[in-house]
Every structure is written in C-alpha cells, then in structure tokens.
Amino acid sequence: MTTTPFDARVAALDADALAELMRSRHSVRAFTDRPIEGAVREALEAQMAAENERAGLSMQLCLDAPGAFDGTLAHYGSFRNVRNHLALVGPAGPGLDEAVGYAGEKVVLLARALGVDSCWVALTYDRRRSPARVGAGERYALAVALGYGEKPGSAHPVKPVERLCRVSGEAPAWFTAGVEAARLAPTALNQQRFRFELLEDGRTVRARALPALSCGRVDLGIARLHFELGANAVSRDWAFER
C-alpha cells in the first residue's frame, strides 16, 4: 500500500502531538492573498488523489477560484477572500456524506500540519460558481474553504465524553483515546450529533449519527477518522462494526 502524505505525517507524531494537531485545527473564514503552492500544494493534491482512489470519490482542489465564495451567501457566512476550496464530490447515494467527511478531514488535517487553515462549509457558498466538475450520477456534497488565515481561529465548544459514547464497565484506554479525539472533530453548528458504542466483545466499536439539524452523516465521517486516529495511537486491536 502506498504511503500518503497524511500517513507519513501521522506516523511521525506521538499520541500527544497527534492530539495537538487535531486540537489546533480551528475554523477560519478570512484569508490572506498568499497562494497555496509548491510542496504544500503537491502534498494536498497527492492526498486528495489517494482518497479519491480509495473511496471512489471525485474530490477536487480548486485553487485561485474565488467565485464560489464571492457572493451573498459567503458574505452571510462571514467569509472573506476565500480563493481556494476543496470540492467534496462523489457518487450520489446514501454513503456519500460519510465518505467525504472521512476523506475530506484527512486533507484538512494534512493542511493544518502544513500550516494551511480551513473551514467546512455546507450552505454559505455558491457551488454553481465553483470550477469543480460534477459528473453524471455524482453530487457536490459540500466544500472546505482553504488558505492562510488572517488570524488563527478559536476553539469550538465540546461535549463531555460521557455524552459521546456508550460503554459497559471500564472503557479500555484505546476507546477513551478514540472518543477524546472524536470530541475534537469539527461538526456543523458544533452539534456533535454522533455516538461511539463499545460492543460486548470489548474490541468492536459501533459508530452512529444521531438526528441532526444538518450534515449529520458528514459529521460522523469526520468523527470516525478522529476516533480511528486517537484509538490507533494507543492500540490497533479493535475494529469498527461492519
């Protein structure tokens, strides 16, 4: 299996550094004119291509393309000078939202490791003005604004661990680490409408989305990646329910 830029970054981090990477990613809505180029651009494109191949998606990195964030919707969302975005596109179907959440967050976390800021965007952009191509049978699920922020973002509220999981008895260290990592996952309107349940065998995890105002399945995909990263930093002797 080919090692992706994201895999290489994660492999180089210990558990504390990995948690700090997830903790340091905040939503940023105002950007400078600095372009995404050189080795940073190449790494993001390589990761995106690897995720497209792995999950059968059509994600596209749209650089120097301000049109999608240059209208009334973007101004309503307080976006300013968004010149780059990741278009999350893939086969229309019930699994698309969760798939782009998981895959897109890999690109987002890699971007954070490379010094690039981001913001997940569901509604306040104009996908018709995005240069992303949407083929027959595909859907443009949502976008991620990318760039170098005018200033750092701020931390979002998080729910207590006990509201995000279910476990009988004492939770193993890897499960607790996974839930703690999932707490740091960005979600629409900071809803955190997901739950992780440790099944009776003590090593299988059930992840589910709860009813949400929007983007519940996307949020679950993002949270699943965070859980996986946190748990794997402690132990790999576990698996998600199939």
Domain range enclosing 88: 5-147
Q: What is the mean pLDDT of the chain?
A: 94
pLDDT at 51: 97
Q: What are 31-34's contacts with CB under 8 Å, separation 24+?
A: 31/80, 31/81, 31/82, 31/83, 31/84, 31/117, 31/145, 31/147, 31/148, 31/149, 31/150, 32/81, 32/147, 32/148, 32/149, 32/150, 33/81, 33/83, 34/147, 34/148
- 141/173 same-domain check: no
Lowest mean pLDDT among 73-87, 132-146, 194-208, 209-223: 73-87
- 38/115 same-domain check: yes
- 96/207 same-domain check: no
| Number of domains comprising the chain | 2
- 38/116 same-domain check: yes
Q: Is residue 169 part of a domain?
A: yes
pLDDT at 169: 86
Q: Could you read off the pLDDT of 22-66 as tens digits, one per residue?
A: 999 999 999 999 999 999 999 999 999 999 999 999 999 999 999
- 138/32 same-domain check: yes
CATH (domain of 35): 3.40.109.10
- 94/27 same-domain check: yes
CA distance 164 to 126: 33
Q: Is residue 233 part of a domain?
A: yes
- 112/185 same-domain check: no
- 69/119 same-domain check: yes
- 112/210 same-domain check: no
- 98/135 same-domain check: yes
Indicate the pTM of the whole model: 0.95
- 28/143 same-domain check: yes
Strand ranges across the sheet with 204-209: 165-166, 194-198, 204-209, 239-240
